[in-house]
């Protein structure tokens, strides 16, 4: 049996403006970035190595989605070398060697219900922040998105990402991540993501 998968990452703002100049003249204009990336299923090893590829040939073979609520004053630690994955009620972990896409959503809508993404401490995943610590806020009903068609390396010393809730109330979140693990062959079953 063959395995196929397609991953589309998109983010955009689309606007339309209708301006009535007078009863005979109406100006209409709209715009957007029309930004999206499409990854196909594969090992991610394109061209001469894991970090090569193009926007039209970039591949992923790891897919994971998780969600939950972070209690006030608490945090969630995302370990990209041991990311929990559930399949038909069984828990296992997957290990990214490279991250190609990540979206984190703040599901709350209340004023001040802000999540904060940080890469601090031992083994912090600073690659997403150009070697920095992040400290990026996700406002209510907002998202944080990271993409890299060539992938950013996940290593034992660069793998932990923290999502903090510095408020006193619980905040719901969702995460979806895609990436590569070259040890998974294109003929392997990916199961149910």
Q: What is the pLDDT of residues 45-67, one digit of tens each?
A: 443 334 444 556 678 888 899 99
User: What is the layout of strands, in order, in the sheet containing 62-70?
Assistant: 62-70, 171-180, 98-106, 143-153
Q: What is the token pair recorded at 109?
A: 């809508």
The pLDDT assigned to 56 comes to 60
The domain limits of the chain are 6-180
Average pLDDT, integer, range 66-78: 97
Q: Which of 5-9, 91-95, 139-143 has the lowest mean pLDDT?
A: 5-9
Question: Pairing state of beta strands 62-70 and 171-180?
Answer: antiparallel
Most confident of 5-19, 57-71, 132-146: 132-146
Q: Which of 11-15, 117-121, 186-190 has the lowest mean pLDDT?
A: 186-190
Q: What is the token pair recorded at 187?
A: 């003929």
The pTM of this model reads 0.85
What's the burial of 51, exposed, middle or buried (CB within 10 Å: 0-12/13-18/19+)? Answer: middle
In this model, does residue 44 exceed pLDDT 70? no
Does the domain at 6-180 match CATH 1.10.287.130? Answer given as no
Give percent above pLDDT 70 in the chain: 85
Cβ atoms of 96 and 62 closer than 8 Å? yes
Question: Pairing state of beta strands 115-118 and 134-138?
Answer: antiparallel
Grouping H, G, I as helix, E, B as strand and the rest as coil, residue 128 is: helix
With residue 76 as reference, give the H or E element that holds it.
strand 75-79
């Amino acid at each position: 049996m063959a395995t196929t998968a397609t991953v589309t990452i998109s983010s955009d703002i689309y606007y339309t403006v209708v301006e009535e100049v007078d009863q005979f003249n109406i100006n209409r204009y709209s715009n957007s970035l029309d930004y999206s990336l499409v990854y196909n299923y594969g090992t991610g090893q394109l061209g001469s190595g894991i970090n090569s590829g193009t926007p039209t040939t970039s591949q992923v073979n790891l897919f994971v989605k998780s969600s939950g609520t972070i209690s006030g004053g608490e945090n969630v630690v995302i370990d990209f070398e041991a990311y929990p994955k559930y399949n038909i009620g069984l828990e296992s972990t997957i290990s990214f060697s490279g991250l190609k896409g990540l979206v984190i959503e703040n599901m709350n809508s209340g004023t001040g219900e802000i999540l904060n993404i940080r890469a601090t401490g031992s083994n912090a995943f600073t690659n997403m922040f150009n070697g920095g610590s992040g400290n990026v806020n996700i406002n209510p009903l907002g998202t944080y998105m990271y993409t890299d068609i060539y992938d950013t390396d996940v290593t034992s010393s660069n793998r932990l990402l923290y999502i903090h809730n510095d408020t006193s109330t619980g905040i719901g979140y969702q995460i979806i991540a895609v990436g590569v693990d070259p040890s998974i062959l294109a003929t392997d079953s990916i199961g149910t993501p």
